[in-house]
């Protein structure tokens, strides 16, 4: 595991992009995350693409998760997030992008299809944020490390943290999500985890400094992965 600390999210995101670019080629497959953590990295991707330095024409992507209970085109759906923050600004083909369909009429069937797609995906680089409780994707504490794509009940702390995207009203935050499982995440060739702000300090300590690997702090499983970059700002640093 490589652990890198920077003064700011901006500096960390620049370095994350350098690392990402060193790990991918023109037809790589990316695992993508939403939320606040990857937005600086997405800005770097867009800037470098617009400068003519990298084309996503043959890149495929698979997102970690999507809320259940809000529509596909809700402004805070993760489909919409990806369009607004990345896909609309690069030359990736829409049909090569995949976000779980959590508003499907037959949700079980949608989960099965996403699992099948992931089984064939061979993700080269998986981007991750981390919850203050250590969740990765929306695999909340207590999730078996052996889980694939599933529906999850979001923990209260996750609902509260994400209320900042929903007018700070926890009643507007979806209570469930579809997520890749830990098993799916661990299959990626390389993982880049980003964490910014003091609220992430405990999760980062558990991941980087503590010995224990426990389903109660899902990110700790990453200690078993052969190629992980943990990139944080100084507020999230545990030292
Ligand atoms: C998002 C995801 C979540 C977030 C985590 C941190 O696709 O899977 O695990 O990465 O909740 O969220 P932010 O980055 O908003 O602090």
Write out pLDDT tens, residues 218-231.
999 999 999 999 99
- Predicted confidence at residue 239, as pLDDT, reads 83
- The whole-number average pLDDT for the span 112-118 is 98
Residue 135: active-site member: yes
Write out pLDDT tens, residues 153-181.
999 999 999 999 999 999 999 999 999 99
What is the second-level CATH architecture of the domain 24-225?
3-Layer(aba) Sandwich (3.40)
Write out pLDDT tens, residues 39-97.
999 999 999 999 999 999 999 999 999 999 999 899 999 999 999 999 999 999 999 99
Q: Which of 9, 32, 37, 192 to mutate to test the pocket of ligand 1 (most atoms within 8 A of CB)?
A: 37
Write out pLDDT tens, residues 1-21.
999 999 999 999 999 999 999
Over 90: is that where the pLDDT of 138 sits?
yes
Q: Which of 13, 130, 152, 182 to mutate to test the pocket of ligand 1 (most atoms within 8 A of CB)?
A: 130
> At 92, is the secondary structure helix, strand, or coil?
coil
**Catalytic: which of 135, 139, 162, 184?**
135
- The whole-number average pLDDT for the span 95-106 is 96
């Amino acid at each position: 595991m490589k652990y890198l600390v920077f003064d700011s999210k901006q500096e960390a995101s620049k370095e994350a992009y350098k690392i990402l670019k060193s790990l991918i080629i023109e037809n790589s497959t990316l695992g993508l995350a939403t939320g606040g953590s990857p937005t600086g990295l997405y800005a770097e991707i867009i800037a470098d693409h617009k400068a003519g330095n990298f084309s996503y024409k043959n890149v495929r992507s698979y997102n970690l998760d999507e809320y259940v209970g809000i529509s596909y085109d809700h402004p805070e759906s993760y489909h919409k997030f990806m369009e607004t923050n990345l896909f609309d600004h690069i030359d990736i083909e829409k049909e090569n992008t995949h976000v779980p369909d959590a508003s499907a009429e037959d949700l079980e069937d949608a989960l099965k299809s996403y699992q099948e797609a992931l089984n064939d995906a061979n993700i080269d680089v998986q981007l991750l944020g981390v919850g203050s409780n250590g969740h990765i994707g929306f695999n909340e504490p207590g999730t078996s490390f052996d889980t694939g794509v599933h529906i999850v009940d979001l923990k209260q702390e996750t609902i509260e943290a994400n209320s900042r995207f929903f007018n700070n009203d926890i009643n507007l935050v979806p209570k469930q999500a579809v997520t890749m499982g830990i098993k799916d995440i661990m299959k990626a060739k390389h993982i880049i985890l980003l964490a910014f702000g003091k609220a992430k300090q405990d999760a980062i300590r558990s991941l980087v400094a503590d010995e224990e690997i426990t389903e109660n702090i899902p990110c700790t499983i990453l200690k078993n992965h052969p190629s992980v970059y943990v990139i944080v700002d100084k507020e999230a640093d545990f030292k």
